[in-house]
């Protein structure tokens, strides 16, 4: 089978072909799961949200404009569903440790030295990220972990670019303050996750 464009798959899905949904799932599941995990910090919830995003893609296929890129819609749906979950569940903070470890484990080879270094670096970063309000945290996740531009984040969250910049600015300020003398750690860890 040739690689089809998202546009073609959306048209097929709108015509009732469920195989198109499976193809889109295979193509985009990692970005949806990674985003949901980074926001919710709960692997089980991220898996549930992954399924929910694609169920909604199927349910609302008729409303999706095939001439527009699909990824912003997927990010927006993932962020919105994740945010709703966070508002309902106050226990999301304790899952941050698992999220940070999962992201870093995918990026670096697992040697004893790397594991020790990673654990120490992420201990500082986790503490700093815990201080972020949810809105700032979502911008940090989309910018640093998903490597999206300010404009893309603006479109996904449906807020002005200036608001994205502001949230990112204040998040960085909180992170720098929380990290204190460990500022280089923040730059290193975020560089490794992008």
The reported pLDDT for the residue numbered 92 is: 40
The reported pLDDT for the residue numbered 65 is: 93
Which residues of the chain fall short of a pLDDT of 50?
1, 90-97, 183, 185-186, 189, 191-194
Q: Are 49 and 89 in contact (CB under 8 A)?
A: no
Name every residue whose Cβ is closer than 8 Å to that of residue 72 and which is 6 or more positions away in sequence. 152, 155, 156
The reported pLDDT for the residue numbered 193 is: 44
The reported pLDDT for the residue numbered 93 is: 45
Domains plus CATH for the chain? 6-88 (1.10.1740.10), 93-193 (1.10.10.10)
- State the CB neighbour count (10 A cutoff) for residue 24: 22
Q: Are 142 and 31 in contact (CB under 8 A)?
A: no
The reported pLDDT for the residue numbered 70 is: 93
Q: Are 144 and 189 in contact (CB under 8 A)?
A: no
């Amino acid at each position: 089978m040739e690689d089809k464009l998202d546009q073609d798959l959306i048209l097929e899905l709108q015509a009732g072909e469920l195989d198109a949904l499976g193809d889109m799932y295979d193509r985009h599941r990692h970005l949806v799961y990674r985003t949901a995990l980074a926001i919710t910090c709960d692997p089980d919830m991220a898996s549930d949200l992954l399924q929910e995003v694609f169920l909604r893609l199927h349910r609302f296929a008729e409303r999706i404009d095939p001439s527009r890129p699909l990824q912003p819609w997927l990010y927006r749906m993932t962020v919105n569903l994740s945010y709703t979950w966070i508002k309902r569940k106050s226990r999301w903070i304790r899952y941050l440790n698992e999220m940070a470890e999962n992201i870093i484990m995918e990026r670096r080879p697992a040697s004893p030295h790397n594991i020790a270094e990673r654990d120490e670096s992420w201990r500082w970063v986790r503490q700093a990220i815990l201080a972020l309000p949810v809105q700032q945290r979502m911008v940090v996740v989309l910018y640093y972990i998903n490597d999206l531009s300010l404009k893309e984040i603006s479109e996904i969250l449906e807020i002005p670019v200036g608001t994205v910049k502001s949230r990112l600015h204040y998040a960085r300020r909180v992170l720098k303050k929380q990290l204190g003398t460990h500022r280089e750690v923040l730059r290193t860890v975020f560089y490794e996750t992008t």
